[in-house]
Amino acid sequence: MPILAAEYRERIDRARALMREQGLVALMVTGDYLYSANYRYLSGHVPRDYQATTDRSHVLLITAEGGAICAHPSGTAGAKASWVDEVFTFTPPVRHSDLAVLFNRLGVARGRVGAELGDDQRMMLPVGQYEQLKAAFPQIEWVDGGDLLWSLRMVKSPAEIDAIRAGDRINAAALRSVFAGAHEGITARELQALCARSLTAAGASRPPHSQINLASSSQTRGPDGFILGKGDLLFVDTGVVNEGYWAEFNRMGVVGSPSERQERWHETARRINTTWWEEILRPGVTAEAAILDHIRHMEAAGLDAEQCGRAVLLEPPFPHHGHGIGMNSSEPPRLRVGDRTVLKAGMVINIETYIYDNGTRYACEEDVVITPSGAEPLSEPDTHLFVIS
């Protein structure tokens, strides 16, 4: 299901409703070729994103009745194809006077303006130009718009969920290809290349190389990293971007026939991981309550504190065993102590289970969506250790 223009207008309607609740006269979001999630989410315009360039700013200003974009020249045509009627450009590099055009055109000279100032936010503008913009409008009170933006982005629409589900199918096909192509004697460097080829061949729509995470129990090392030998475990965690949305999870395999111990611990991790969507995740539960319930399920399975990492999960810096997924590969909420976000239907969560056995980590990971009655997997659930020839 493609994300149609009507959905972007619905997003703007929801944003304006939140702006009214928070007393904002305007909301400013930014994007460049390095990062543009908020800008893309609200405008529908995707700046060219295959270069790690930070000097090609795009700015969208939204008010109760209008909206306008200040676009880098290379993105002006795309911006004009969005729902936004008023699009201006500038002579690079961007200056505060260029952004002032938006504020003056939309009549924003005083009041509270939300911007990307808080946690998990990045304003893709030079700090000096932002400070001069503030000085140019002394009657504007600049406030953090992060909570508003995450209130919008954390709950996914059916089209967003479909995009992630399709990405999960691509990632699953790539992982099957990786384990089919791996072999005894392959190096970590060769596996990296195999993963990249497999992700692209499976249909990843953006360069997939930003998420290829490999680990092995192999004790054999060479100039190209670990070398797989008989009996070695392989952990592969990959992710793809499909229609602007991430899908990511891991799978594990063993060279040759797995031992009884390897099968037992992997099966335990897999079984515990299913409790995330079968018993734990549901609307109204907080992210913190979910991780505490997850720890209880691990202990109920007979795992001691070291095997389930209990002490690590309950002590600072409080790592997570699950996180939101969407336009970012990891975004709020995070299933960890201290995150009191209340889960809602439509949130998409990457869930994780880790078991530690004599220095070896067994891991199981899926993408799930919160439903009105609980949760259900978007990725095809893990069922077995892959066998590597």
pLDDT at 210: 64
The closest of 60, 64, 59 to 94, measured between CA atoms, is 59
pLDDT-wise least confident of 205-209, 216-220, 285-289, 348-352: 205-209
Helix or strand or coil: residue 107?
A: coil
Q: What is the pLDDT of residues 110-147, one digit of tens each?
A: 999 999 999 999 999 999 999 999 999 999 999 999 99
Confidence label for 5 from pLDDT (cuts 50, 70 and 90): confident
pLDDT at 141: 98
pTM listed for this prediction: 0.95
The answer, yes or no, to whether residue 209 has pLDDT greater than 70, is no
The closest of 113, 105, 99, 100 to 85, measured between CA atoms, is 105
CATH code for residues 158-388: 3.90.230.10
Please indicate whether residue 123 or residue 55 has the higher confidence score (pLDDT): 123
The answer, yes or no, to whether residue 49 has pLDDT greater than 90, is no
Query: Nearest 10 degrees: CA dihedral of 213, 210, 324, 336?
Result: 50
The closest of 329, 343, 349 to 237, measured between CA atoms, is 329
Half-sphere exposure of 79 (CA within 13 A, CB side): 26
The answer, yes or no, to whether residue 208 has pLDDT greater than 60, is no
Are 351 and 141 in contact by the 8 Å Cβ rule? The answer is no
Q: What is the pLDDT of residues 73-86, one digit of tens each?
A: 989 999 999 999 89
Place of tokens 């009627």: 85
Confidence label for 367 from pLDDT (cuts 50, 70 and 90): very high
pLDDT at 4: 85
pLDDT at 3: 83
* Cα angle for residues 248, 252, 254 (degrees, 5° grid): 160
pLDDT at 46: 87
Give me the percent of the chain exceeding a pLDDT of 70: 97
Q: Where in the chain is CATH 3.90.230.10?
A: 158-388
pLDDT at 50: 58
Q: Are strands 111-115 and 86-89 parallel, antiparallel or unpaired?
A: unpaired
Q: What is the pLDDT of residues 236-275, one digit of tens each?
A: 999 999 999 999 999 999 999 999 999 999 999 999 999 9
Please indicate whether residue 175 or residue 358 has the higher confidence score (pLDDT): 175
Average of per-residue pLDDT across 194-210: 83
- Residue range 5-153 forms a domain whose CATH class is alpha beta
Confidence label for 199 from pLDDT (cuts 50, 70 and 90): very high
Confidence label for 54 from pLDDT (cuts 50, 70 and 90): confident
